[in-house]
Amino acid sequence: MARCFIGVMLPEGLKGSIATVKEELKRLPLKCKFVERENLHICLSFLGEVEDVKNVSEGLGLVCKDCQKFEVSIDGIKIIPNDSYIRVLALDVIDKTGNLEGIRKEIGKRIGGKSNPSHLTLCRVKTIDEKVKTVERIKSIKTDELSFTVSAVQIIKSELRKTGPIYTPISEVQLK
């Protein structure tokens, strides 16, 4: 069995720009676990322990069989679930085509798993000092809109280690 999720790994070229946002967040009075540079991704569905990866891969192939490549943008910090109870700081994923959301919903129907609206997690928050001021500072952080083409969707194995998770794509469906 393998602990897996379905997602879109971020292109290497965007990771440096996202590192700049993470550096600004590191200056704030919060304790959190940042997502490692190599693990930056957009999660479409967290599957948990998967016994039959081949079956999931076939399902993902059916979900994506008619999907064309499409553009998404990443911009603006999102506080999840809300300003009062902060668990995650993420970048918002803007999908003007609606394709990413369509794929996410179809994965939920055909394959299952836990799925939330698309976002790119920057960190998981443990505690925040001076919450009201810190939220104001988070909201004042300016981000550059970054765009990229989604050309594939991956099944990604997540191995939990003391040093942090290791994500390994184990199956990939190319979009047309």
DSSP symbol at 130: S
Q: Which of 8, 10, 41, 43 is catalytic?
A: 41
* Catalytic residue list contains 119: yes
Q: Which of 4, 72, 89, 119 is catalytic?
A: 119
Yes or no: say if 98 and 72 are a contact pair by the CB < 8 Å rule: no
- The C-alpha atoms of residue 21 and residue 41 are separated, in whole angstroms, by 15
Contacts of 140 (CB under 8 A, 6+ apart): none
- The C-alpha atoms of residue 111 and residue 121 are separated, in whole angstroms, by 22
| Radius of gyration in angstroms for the set of CA atoms belonging to the chain, rounded to a whole number | 16
* Catalytic residue list contains 41: yes
Q: What are the catalytic residues? A: 41, 119
